[in-house]
Amino acid sequence: MLWKILYSPYDAGAFLIMVIALAAHALADWARSRRRGPDGQVDR
């Protein structure tokens, strides 16, 4: 019963999009933080 209330194909698709987009965002944040030195400046 609870599953029928919570689940729909739209929700499943939206959840999948959310997970992928969040992972991409987190990866981009991580890559940006790695390029910064200890003083917060971007390494060249």
Partner 1 sequence: MTRDGSLSGPLEKYLILAARYFFGGHALISGANHYLEIAPDIMPRSPEIAARFMQVLIDTHLYDLVKGIEILTGLSLLTGLFVPVALVLEMPVTVVILYLSLFIAPTARSLYTGPRELLLNLFLLSAYWGYLKPLACQPRPPLKTLWQALRAERPGGAHS
Which residues lie near partner 1 (CB under 8 A)? 1, 4-6, 8-11, 13-18, 21-22, 25-26, 29
Residue type present at position 21 = A
DSSP classification of residue 44? -
* Radius of gyration over every alpha carbon of the chain, rounded to an integer in angstroms: 18
Q: Nearest approach, Cβ of 38 to partner 1 (angstroms)?
A: 19
Nearest distance, CB of residue 25 and partner 1, angstroms: 6
- Other CB atoms closer than 10 Å to residue 17's CB: what's the count? 10
Nearest distance from residue 41's CB to partner 1, in Å? 16
